[in-house]
Amino acid sequence: MPRAIGVAVSGGSDSVALLHGLYWALQDQNVDIHVATVDHGLRPEAAAEAQFVADLSLRLGLSHKTLCWDEPRGAGNLQARARAARYDLLSAWANENHIDALVLGHTADDQAETVLMRMRREAGVNGLAGIAPRRTLGRLDLLRPMLGLRREDLRDVLRQENVSWVDDPSNEDECFERVRTRKALATLADLGIPADAFSRVAENLSQARKALDWYSFLAADDVISTRAGAVVISQREFRVLPQEIAHRLIAQSVQWLTGDGYVPRRGAMQDAIKAVQRGEGFTFSGCRILSRRGVSWLFREYNALADLTARPGQAWDGRWLMHGGVIAGDETQKCELRPLSAAGLRFCPQWREQDCPGEVLQTTPSLWQNDELLAAPCAGMANGWAVSLIKPEEALFSSFLTH
């Protein structure tokens, strides 16, 4: 048991039941419980709900922090952006408070809703395995101990204990897919397909996923390697893989390259798999596939990196660090990391000796001072500098067992 755990509490019945359950279960344990509420700034009631949780935490003698999302407006799917922001805020809060485990209040109802929504998207085994009871987010363990419990059962316990909670009015707004799905589940229950059935299906597929993860790990050792930050795939070995294993190798490789927590759409993934099998090129999800002499190179698409810059010592593209060289103190602010580019590659006379396609090297980090190329280690122009991956090759291979 960790010395300190964090609990994400919105004020709804699920998270309130979770907080009370943990409080009573851990009373005799030497565990500090920290409570956090995320205020997305999207509803006028949110501040009052956060204060409700703060008051509840005070009555239980627990510390509480309200985490505010300062950028609720913008392009893209609002719910997806809010979810990503929620986990970013909670992860940063946990890190500041030396919390190694964050406990979340997802229930069997949430599991059923997730599985049904993913069925609509024609998800594969991973998607239909639903919400994992445990996963890692950086150095933080995310724990969901209530996936086997129904929401109404938890509410019955709260009523018996005379514990109140707050109801989020957006949970009745059919503009949101999850609300529509929740109502569809009620209809399915009337037809004899209860939410518990979806949870059991998710658990069955979770076991299947673990088996597939293991065989994907073994296959990766035979089929893929890395070079200059790219994934190198042996086409001959890849062609004989079962489709599901091939899908997993490409999916995990893309996630390693981009840092994105989500797998590309299945249609794009199928096209990518065919491109490797046929020895063709393909571009998708910020990545590119290039075929050369029986090998497919999967690497970052140049256009996704063209405008990315960073100062020496900072992470570039979220995955590279450049170190070891020396810059005069006054010149540091004039230097920046950029993708090498086709123009930069022309300044690297030894690039052909790197046993790597020029198109791949063009997407690797290089150090510039205005229009002067100072270093491009992957292309054989180190000048005292070196580059390293924040998540090295070992992270790619281990991801087949830990994602």
CB contact at 8 A, 253 and 396: yes
Give the Cα separation of 366 and 348 in Å (integer). Answer: 11
Q: What are the C-alpha distances in Å from 55 to residues 42, 58, 163, 363?
A: 22, 5, 13, 52
Give the Cα separation of 34 and 26 in Å (integer). Answer: 12
Name 183's Cβ contacts closer than 8 Å, sequence gap at least 6: 174
Query: How many contiguous H segments (helices) and E segments (strands) does the chain have?
Result: 15, 16
Residue 334 CB neighbours (<10 A) = 12
- 11 annotated to a ligand binding site: yes
- 76 annotated to a ligand binding site: no
In terms of phi and psi (left: phi > 0; alpha: psi -120 to 50; beta: otherwise), the region of 318 is left
Task: Give 107-147 as a DSSP string.
Answer: -HHHHHHHHHHHHHTT--HHHHT-S-SEEEETTEEEE-TTT
> Strand pairing partners for 365?
339
- 380 annotated to a ligand binding site: no
Closest CA to 292 of 366, 364, 352: 352
Q: Which two tokens stand for residue 376?
A: 């491009």
- 291 annotated to a ligand binding site: no
- 234 annotated to a ligand binding site: no
- 130 annotated to a ligand binding site: no
Phi, psi (rounded to 5 degrees) for 149? -110, 140
User: Residue positions in the annotated binding site for ATP?
Assistant: 10-15
User: Residue positions in the annotated binding site?
Assistant: 10-15
